Amino acid sequence: MVKNDDFLETVVSSIRYAFSNMGSLLIGGIVLTLSLLIIGLPFFLGYMTRCIREIIRGNGVLPDWDGIGDIFVNGIRMTIIFLIYAAIYGLLAMVPAIPVLAFQYLGIGYLAWISTAIMILTLVILSSVFGVVFFASWVIFANTGSIKVAVAPHEIVALISKNPLGYLIAIIASASMVVLGGLSMALFVTIPWAVFIICSAISYIFAKYYQNTMNRTEYNGPQTGL
């Protein structure tokens, strides 16, 4: 059985990691600001991927922003993974929307309201499930560099099922970081750096989950591939 870090230890360690390299943190906020213009998004995703990869390999400090070409390429590949998830989510989200549109077209108001409530509930559930699964894919990609392996359902299920309690702790700790980070966004100017800190901390949390799971179970991780 996997011995997981406790919740408080996970949160504190992730915060410590997010502030472990102030130079990288400063640059990260600037890159995140550029991400609003799409320009910086591949660099941001690529850097977070590097963070996860290096944590898995034992580096507990935010890496420097060097090797920009490698960061950019990994960011583009992570963008592709994100778009795959977005496309699947969009297709599934269309299913509960069909009755809503049909009942509105037919003028059956009460059924349209009921269908709308069901659609909203379905979208909330879908968003939660996709959020949980997406982070597993991201960690797998960071470790393997393979888009194909990262989106393979059996690899995702294998990773989560080997240590479900640890994954639950990771999810709750990540949600806590979002709440704590939100408190630091009172000043508009701090938002990019607050978001970067949150993302860095969450990267640490899921990378440590992956590291703990590989080190303390028979799970050896997915195989690398294209």
Q: Render 142-156 in DSSP notation, one character per residue.
A: HHH--HHHHT-HHHH
Contact of 209 with 161, CB cutoff 8 Å: no
Instruction: Measure the CA–CA gap between 25 and 28, rounded to whole angstroms.
Output: 5
What string of pLDDT tens digits covers the 226 residues of the chain?
A: 556 667 888 889 999 999 999 999 999 999 988 887 778 889 999 999 999 999 999 898 999 999 999 999 999 999 999 999 999 999 998 998 999 999 888 888 888 899 999 999 999 999 888 988 999 999 999 999 999 999 999 999 999 999 898 999 999 999 888 888 777 666 556 788 888 999 999 999 999 999 888 876 555 566 555 4
pTM, entire model: 0.85
Contact of 154 with 203, CB cutoff 8 Å: no
Closest CA to 19 of 215, 131, 184: 184
CB within 8 A of 46, min separation 6: which ones? 70, 71, 72, 73, 74, 75, 76, 78
Contact of 10 with 173, CB cutoff 8 Å: yes
Amino acid 13: pLDDT: 93
Pick left, alpha or beta for residue 67 (phi over 0 → left; psi -120 to 50 → alpha; otherwise beta). left
Give φ, ψ of 187 to 5 degrees. -95, 125
> Cα 89–90–96 angle (5° rounding)?
95
CB within 8 A of 216, min separation 6: which ones? 2, 3, 163
Neighbour-count burial for 201-223, b at 16+ CB within 10 Å, e otherwise: bbbbbbbbbbbbbbeeeebebbe
Amino acid 226: pLDDT: 47
Amino acid 157: pLDDT: 93
